[in-house]
Structure 1
Amino acid sequence: MRTRKLATLLASTALAATTTLVAGAAPAGAAGPCGSSYSRVGVYAVSKDGTRTGTLEVYYSSSTGKNCALTYGYGAYANTVSWKRVTISRGDGSGESTDAGDYKIYAGPVYVSAPGQCIDVGATVPAWTIRELNNVHCG
């Protein structure tokens, strides 16, 4: 009986240690910028006159029915403070959400609930380079 309790205790301790190691091994950003249920559905270059200045990323969560978007700097604007903007709305313009400012990494995330609808997304990096997409990622 004593051996069985010891075996159970050792097995429980090993399981707890393994669980802690696995949970601790995952990088902090493993869930993604929008959350754990979101998958990236689009990546778009923000550019002007052939020079890329940013990246617009769009994500979708089938469990929430929401889309999410972020704008990152690229090239000279990556990891440097510069004007970045991201906007998302339903294809009819309703439910608009915008984040803009002088950011080092990215603007956003911004979200819109648009199950079964198209969305509009837009990005700016820096202040004079804009990318707009209308009626995309229709669900």
Structure 2
Amino acid sequence: MIFKGSCGAGYRQQDTFPLGDNQGVSGAGVLFLYYNGSNGTNYAILRRDSRFKVTDGMGVSLKDNAGNGVADGQRAYTQFAGPVYLKAPGRCVQVRGTVTGYWLTENSTYLDKEHDGGSGWVHCG
């Protein structure tokens, strides 16, 4: 869970999706997907891993299988991207994220790398 109440009242965490990996050490970030059953609204946010140094921004997007979508991303983002909200009662959703940077680990030097990923169609209906 990210920050209690950050989505607003009535949202429950549905899923998490790791973004990128470092040979099993850590993901570059985590996509969080929430849903509010009382109003049919999905909420997504991307939070970076504490050991990942963001160098060129972050972004998150959320779309439904009817073609509606929302996105948020900027080169200035270094901690999280989002939130994005999408009302999609009875429809499948897909969440995606992107982050560019490198891992902060001992005895390691990494070149900047863009990591992207997310879910397939999930939480239909």
TM-score above 0.5: yes
The verdict on how the C-alpha distance between 1:82 and 1:35 changes in structure 2, with shifts beyond 3 A counting, is farther
Residue in 2 aligned with 1:7? none
TM (normalized to structure 2)?
0.76
Residue in 2 aligned with 1:56? 31
Matched-pair identity in %: 28
Whole-Å Cα distance in 2 between the matches of residues 74 and 98 of structure 1? 20
Structure-to-structure mapping, 1:84-95, within 5 angstroms: 84-92=58-66, 94-95=67-68
1:119 equivalent to 2:93? Answer: yes
Runs of 4+ residues over 6 Å off in structure 1: none
- Number of positions where the alignment pairs a residue of Structure 1 with one of Structure 2: 108
Residue in 1 aligned with 2:114? 128
List runs of 5+ in structure 1 lacking aligned partners.
1-28
Mark the structure with the bigger radius of gyration.
Answer: 1
Is the contact between residue 17 and residue 119 of structure 2 (CA under 8 Å) also seen in structure 1? no
Is the contact between residue 77 and residue 125 of structure 1 (CA under 8 Å) also seen in structure 2? no
Structure in which a larger fraction of residues adopt strand = 2
Relative contact order (alpha carbons < 8 A, sep ≥ 6): 1 or 2 greater?
2
Q: Deviations over 1:22-46 (max 9, x none)?
A: xxxxxxx542x21111111101110
Whole-Å Cα distance in 2 between the matches of residues 77 and 64 of structure 1? 35
Whole-Å Cα distance in 1 between the matches of residues 82 and 56 of structure 2? 14
Structure in which a larger fraction of residues adopt helix = 1
RMSD: 2.0
Residue in 1 aligned with 2:16? 43
